[in-house]
Structure 1
């Protein structure tokens, strides 16, 4: 009974935050508009093809991987909000005010795929592969990723791996099994990209349940080959719907030569609250507090960077999509994280920098601690925390000296 009530509550929340009666079949090519931007995606999927050209792929499972090039048009900046997908209110869409599909072209693995990569790789030769989360239709995943690529300004060749989701809140278990079903295909995609001589480095980014699929594919690769492919340098997990105990085992299986991991967490993520309740009441990785034990020590020992978005206002009532909907976070993704670089004070500003180091030292520096209280993004980075600790101590001492001078007789 309790489980049923949980699903009903989540269904109501998803209904509020979800599609809201938007039209289905948006993938029929309908052109672009003056001032609009175009994002060219390589889409790999284990979904079963649909006979409807506006849907392309269903939520059912296919026996083999399919590849498609899809070009998405994004309306001019004056008609949209960064972090949001402007879904058309009717079909055909108005490309000046809504996302639209410019072209859809099936391609074959091999020469056609290599040609697409060579035509879209930037000077850095970096590929960004995105894996979506629970409750996503094919078009949901494609348009959301196009938005992330566009708004982040990431200098990458954008590839998305989309797995069979029935896009129903009541099909959580089906979706979870679909991620397991898709492990081999994702590993195959990663192997192909890693072995392509044109590709320099690969960043993997996954959201929600897609994090399980991503880490499982990397674990499987490490077991098969003795390590994760060296070209896969960075892994970003946003709101990961992952059992913390299982994640620990997965990381151990990858060995020491694993990619650099960055987590986006938020303790007010309502979707992960429900996931925890239906998964044995074990903490979900996307909801941990990185400042408390045992997580603090475990993260430090593993060298995992965490961006805590709890204080950041979400764009939906579930607080499950902050990584894509927040302009601040999207900017960080494009400027630093996707390129595998460390987030520093120059990227997030003084308040956020103080928030980062306050995780370990705020209680020791007096008035400096108050700066961190209103921080929207708090960063836990074991590689730079000692440097920041020293900076925070100096800042605290400076503030105390300033206050002391002001009140001295």
Structure 2
């Protein structure tokens, strides 16, 4: 697959680029008020909380601080840990949000809290997977993105697992990110450093007879790492493991040229790939500027040629979240913060199903997924107003917006008007 690229002639240099970096830093500096060392287990209990058990594999270097566990530096050998995270009651939180402790010990009634931390051997890790496999025998592997500390990745993944209601054994792969907006190049090299370890982990999970299916979900720079690991697996083994059936790339910080080459080298028997993109992703705007002014995969407009034809030819499903509002000022984490999207993740994508169904109207299916309503025109209209997610599926060769337009014409244009609003 060859995805043509679009270059932008006006690129800030020198002071302009530094200003852009500082502006971006100011947007993400809000986390400075949260407590440090949140991975120290708490003994405080609260009613109505939920517990999420996560298996965490990492290529980070261990920290002497028990509340941090692993730093942003690179470790010599991968290590595995099981971590249990407490999620506050539904009455105390919004779906899609991580409620960070403001001080320690955390208050489980209002904040995320760590319940237990245990270092595991490889044999113990296999036993953990066996003990946490649901009836579906499905494993979800999550790979985080740029500017993530160890605890960032753990709590975010616990939130995704909880809010999506995914029926999976959750496995997190966290690589050495320094958690600094100014460490972009270090983080990028850390993904290269970690791709063999991720490939090995995916192979071990896939070769386990008790595992039936693996879904891999990656965010931002983690998409590069994921695609590289799968590409290496295909080259070594002749194909990606057939158990790895679905790959979800959310806001992928990935050069479109490189992505096309990775797809080609993975071969025809590759997993189903779903992309979450958003043209208003500010983090990817900056990434493009410091990466040679070549489009990032997570920021393309799938409605425009040549992308539309190339994506359709490759059988890739795209969910365009540009029109979706979220609390993320950078518009880089919509996939995890939108209640509609996390429900879609849990009900369809992580479960290995397609977003659309040729026997069900696209607008109708999205309505049922997002709101849990009956598959009716009314349901589609409601979602058109509250969750404008455009879906581009090569199987139907239509978009969500196009189908809503058709439905709108049959009911006097009501739905079409709602979308326009």
Aligned equivalent of 1:149: 161
Aligned residue for 1:182, secondary structure, equals helix
Aligned equivalent of 2:24: 10
For the pair 1:282 / 2:294, whether they are aligned, the reply is yes
Q: In 2, distance between residues paired with 1:401 and 1:63?
A: 61
- With over 3 angstroms needed to count, the CA separation of the structure-2 counterparts of 1:395 and 1:324, relative to structure 1, is closer
For the pair 1:57 / 2:70, whether they are aligned, the reply is yes
Q: How does 1:172-187 map to 2 (within 5 A)?
A: 172-187=184-199
Deviation at 1:395, TM superposition (A): 3.8
1:73-118 per-residue CA deviation (whole Å, 9 max, x = no partner) reads: 00111111100000111001111110000000000012x1221111
1:3-28 per-residue CA deviation (whole Å, 9 max, x = no partner) reads: 2222222212222xx41321110000
For the pair 1:246 / 2:264, whether they are aligned, the reply is no
Q: In 1, distance between residues paired with 2:408 and 2:36?
A: 56
Aligned equivalent of 2:51: 38
Q: In 2, distance between residues paired with 1:81 and 1:54?
A: 26
Q: Quick check: 2:139–2:169 contact (8 Å CA) kept in 1?
A: yes
Q: In 1, distance between residues paired with 2:60 and 2:278?
A: 30
Q: Quick check: 1:332–1:347 contact (8 Å CA) kept in 2?
A: no
Deviation at 1:401, TM superposition (A): 11
Q: 2:278 aligns with which of 256, 266, 275?
A: 266
Aligned equivalent of 1:48: 61
- With over 3 angstroms needed to count, the CA separation of the structure-2 counterparts of 1:21 and 1:272, relative to structure 1, is same
Q: How does 1:307-326 map to 2 (within 5 A)?
A: 307-326=319-338
- With over 3 angstroms needed to count, the CA separation of the structure-2 counterparts of 1:373 and 1:77, relative to structure 1, is closer
- With over 3 angstroms needed to count, the CA separation of the structure-2 counterparts of 1:393 and 1:173, relative to structure 1, is closer
Q: How does 1:5-404 map to 2 (within 5 A)?
A: 5-15=19-29, 18-31=30-43, 32-110=45-123, 112-344=124-356, 345-349=363-367, 376-385=388-397, 395=407, 398-399=410-411
Deviation at 1:399, TM superposition (A): 4.8
- With over 3 angstroms needed to count, the CA separation of the structure-2 counterparts of 1:217 and 1:387, relative to structure 1, is closer
Deviation at 1:351, TM superposition (A): 12
- Stretches of structure 2 that go unaligned for 5 or more consecutive residues are 1-13, 357-362, 371-382, 415-421
Q: Quick check: 1:194–1:231 contact (8 Å CA) kept in 2?
A: yes
- Stretches of structure 1 that go unaligned for 5 or more consecutive residues are 353-370, 403-409
- With over 3 angstroms needed to count, the CA separation of the structure-2 counterparts of 1:287 and 1:342, relative to structure 1, is same
Deviation at 1:315, TM superposition (A): 1.4
Q: In 2, distance between residues paired with 1:140 and 1:77?
A: 21
- With over 3 angstroms needed to count, the CA separation of the structure-2 counterparts of 1:349 and 1:206, relative to structure 1, is same
Deviation at 1:385, TM superposition (A): 2.6
Q: In 1, distance between residues paired with 2:256 and 2:384?
A: 27
Deviation at 1:316, TM superposition (A): 1.5
Deviation at 1:349, TM superposition (A): 1.8
Q: Quick check: 2:219–2:250 contact (8 Å CA) kept in 1?
A: yes
Aligned residue for 2:160, secondary structure, equals helix
- With over 3 angstroms needed to count, the CA separation of the structure-2 counterparts of 1:394 and 1:213, relative to structure 1, is closer
Q: In 1, distance between residues paired with 2:309 and 2:103?
A: 51
Aligned residue for 1:164, secondary structure, equals coil
Aligned residue for 1:214, secondary structure, equals helix
1:267-317 per-residue CA deviation (whole Å, 9 max, x = no partner) reads: 000000000000011010000000101100110000000000000002121
Q: Quick check: 2:281–2:331 contact (8 Å CA) kept in 1?
A: yes
Task: Give the TM-score normalised by the residue count of structure 2.
Answer: 0.86
Task: Give the TM-score normalised by the residue count of structure 1.
Answer: 0.89
Q: In 2, distance between residues paired with 1:212 and 1:233?
A: 18
Aligned residue for 2:153, secondary structure, equals helix
1:292-344 per-residue CA deviation (whole Å, 9 max, x = no partner) reads: 01100110000000000000002121011000000000010011110111223
Q: In 1, distance between residues paired with 2:228 and 2:317?
A: 20
**Equivalent pairs, count:** 383
